[in-house]
């Protein structure tokens, strides 16, 4: 079972449930999942429509993400002290030792990202960054992202980010983020500060609601 509504189509739960011959419950969950990853938007109190961002939207999203991520780390760096620097430096050593294990490195990289941003006390910026995350999930879910970088190269980027963090350089942070994102994409490590450049990516895979609606059909069996 699957459904392939057009972009902009109204996601009427009752109608979809009737077409798929299932109850509304799995359809409601499927539509909610589409909204969670940014593929559906609410246009009214009970009205949601299928939304697929344009290429320009994705390019703008990438530019905004570089600015937000870099600024959040920069503001955090302004409040960091020597103990913070030593903690992150120690973590980088552990990350280097974990280069042979992708899973372990990914876990440490998430901690690295959290430590870099912990000192940012701009609540409005933090809220915007958190709200922005759904679009990052959308990019990971919809675009094919090939692994073009080794963990050693990624670790090198992390070391450079830490250098600019210690130097409290917003320009340096923005530069390394932009260069890293434009030169490579790494699907396997979600928290390594990288997504593919929207301007340099290949065409997206077929953008349909099949995966969500198929899930609804399977749950009804």
pLDDT at 34: 75
pLDDT per residue as tens digits for the range 24-35 = 888 888 888 777
For residues 109 and 141, which has the higher predicted lDDT (pLDDT)? 109
Q: What is the pLDDT of residues 68-95, one digit of tens each?
A: 999 999 999 999 999 999 999 999 999 9
Q: Which fold has domain 55-183?
A: 1.20.120
Range picked from 45-49, 93-97, 125-129, 151-155 for highest mean pLDDT = 93-97
Q: 211 vs 34, which has greater pLDDT?
A: 34
Q: Are 13 and 31 in contact (CB under 8 A)?
A: yes
Angle between helices 102-117 and 82-97 (to 10 degrees): 170
Confidence at 168, pLDDT banded by 50, 70, 90 = very high
Q: Terminal CA-to-CA distance of the chain, rounded, Å?
A: 10
DSSP category for residue 201: P
Pick from 65-69, 83-87, 215-219 the range whose average pLDDT is largest: 83-87
Output the pLDDT for position 194.
Answer: 39
Kindly write down the DSSP assignment for every residue of 50-107, as one continuous string: E----HHHHHHHHHHHHHHHHHHHHHHHHH--HHHHHHHHHHHHHHHHTTT-HHHHHH
Entry pTM: 0.65
What residue spans define the domains of the chain?
Answer: 13-53+206-220, 55-183
Tokens describing residue 73: 């780390």
Mean pLDDT taken over the chain? 75
Kindly list the distances between the CA atom of residue 176 and the CA atoms of 116, 141, 148, 191, in Å, as whole numbers in the listed order: 14, 25, 17, 15
Q: Is the pLDDT of residue 171 over 90?
A: yes
47 half-sphere exposure, CB direction, 13 A CA radius: 5
> Does pLDDT of 46 surpass 60?
yes
pLDDT of residue 53: 64
From the CB of residue 28, how many other CB atoms can be counted at a distance below 10 Å? 16
């Amino acid at each position: 079972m699957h459904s392939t509504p057009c972009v902009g189509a109204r996601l009427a739960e009752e109608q979809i449930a009737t077409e798929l011959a299932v109850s509304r419950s799995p359809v409601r969950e499927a539509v909610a999942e589409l909204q969670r990853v940014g593929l559906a938007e609410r246009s009214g109190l009970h009205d949601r429509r299928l939304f697929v961002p344009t290429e320009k939207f994705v390019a703008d999203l990438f530019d905004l993400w570089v600015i937000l991520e870099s600024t959040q780390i920069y503001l955090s760096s302004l409040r960091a002290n020597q103990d913070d620097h030593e903690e992150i430096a120690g973590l980088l050593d552990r990350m280097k030792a974990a280069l042979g294990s992708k899973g372990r490195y990914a876990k440490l990289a998430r901690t690295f990202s959290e430590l870099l941003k912990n000192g940012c006390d701009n609540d409005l910026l933090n809220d915007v960054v958190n709200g922005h995350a759904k679009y990052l999930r959308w990019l990971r879910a919809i675009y094919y992202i090939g692994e073009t970088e080794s963990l050693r190269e990624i670790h090198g980027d992390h070391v450079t980010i830490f250098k600019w963090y210690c130097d409290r350089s917003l320009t340096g942070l923005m530069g390394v983020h932009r260069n890293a994102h434009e030169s490579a994409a790494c699907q396997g490590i979600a928290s390594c500060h990288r997504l593919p450049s929207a301007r340099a990516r290949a065409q997206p895979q077929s953008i349909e609601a099949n995966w969500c609606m198929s899930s609804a059909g399977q749950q009804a069996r």
